[in-house]
Amino acid sequence: MSGQRYTRTAIALHWLMALLILGLLGVGLTMTALPLSPFKLQVYSWHKWAGVSAFLLVCLRLAWRLGHRPPALPPGMPGWQRHAAHGLHHLLYLLMFAIPLTGWLMSSAKGFQTVWFGVLPLPDLLPRDEALGDLLKRVHAGLNYGLIALLAAHVGAALKHHWIDRDDILVRILPWRGRR
């Protein structure tokens, strides 16, 4: 069991996406409160570009993941914890898809097309519809609050494994090799 690590690709994708998503959460939560200004429009565009990038990365990540099993969990781990870990990871993957998708759909419904980095226009999947746009905005926000709650559990569990259970769960996904 010991010495089994996530592959370099898995580690790189995990932390790249973790940084990107934490950044998106921070920007998303602050940008909506900004007074309308050119800066706000800029930040919205950046958020959308980064969000679409996250979506592409999670597609890559999932494609890669389907062909590569993660290292097995330590044998001493109780069954409920295994199930919880798997369930939580599935939900995290689901949200990593659903959140950018609802963002994109919301933008379509609101009549603001998404043009990735100002260069690549994504098709508008929905016609302009204000009520639908508002609904999708609430769904996008709601899913994000869900993600924040799940991440709290995810990070909490990782730290519990590291400091309380003193197993190698956290270390095996860290980019550097810790001692344990």
Partner 1 sequence: MTRFLPLDIRLALACLPLLAAGGATAAGATYGQVLPERSTLTFVSKQMGVAVDGRFRQFATTLTFDPARPAQGSARFELDMASIDAGSKDANDEVVGKAWFDVRTHPRATFVSSSVKALGGDRYEVAGTLTIKGRALPVTAPFTFRQEGGNAVFAGHFPLRRLDFGIGEGIWSDTSVVANDVQIRFHIVAAPRK
Residue 104 and residue 109: Cα distance in Å, rounded?
A: 9
Structure tokens at 94: 């689901």
Q: What is the per-residue binding string for partner 1 in 36-55, x denoting contact by CB under 8 A?
A: xxx--xx--x----------
Distance of alpha carbon 61 from alpha carbon 93, whole angstroms = 9
Note whether 34 binds partner 1 by CB under 8 A: no
Rank residues 130 and 156 by Cβ distance to partner 1 and give the closer one: 130
Taking the least distance from each CB to ligand HEM, the nearer of 14 and 165 is 14
Residue 2 found at the interface with ligand HEM (CB under 6 A):
no
Residue 56 interacts with ligand HEM (CB under 6 A): yes or no: no
Residue 143 to residue 72: CA distance in whole angstroms: 29
User: Maximum CA pair distance of the chain?
Assistant: 56
**Residues 6 or more apart in contact with residue 23 via CB below 8 angstroms:** 50
- Give Cβ neighbours of residue 82 (< 8 Å, ≥ 6 apart): 73
| Binding map of partner 1 across residues 121-160, x = CB under 8 A, - = no contact | x------x-x------------------------------
Q: Rule CB under 6 A: is residue 160 a binding residue for ligand HEM?
A: no
- If one asks whether residue 113 binds partner 1 (CB under 8 A), the answer comes out as yes
Considering only 4-12, 60-68, 118-126, 161-169, which stretch makes contact with partner 1 by CB under 8 A? Answer: 118-126
Cβ-based neighbours of 125, under 8 Å, separated by 6 or more: 104, 105, 108
Interface with partner 1 (CB under 8 A): 36-38, 41-42, 45, 110-115, 118-119, 121, 128, 130
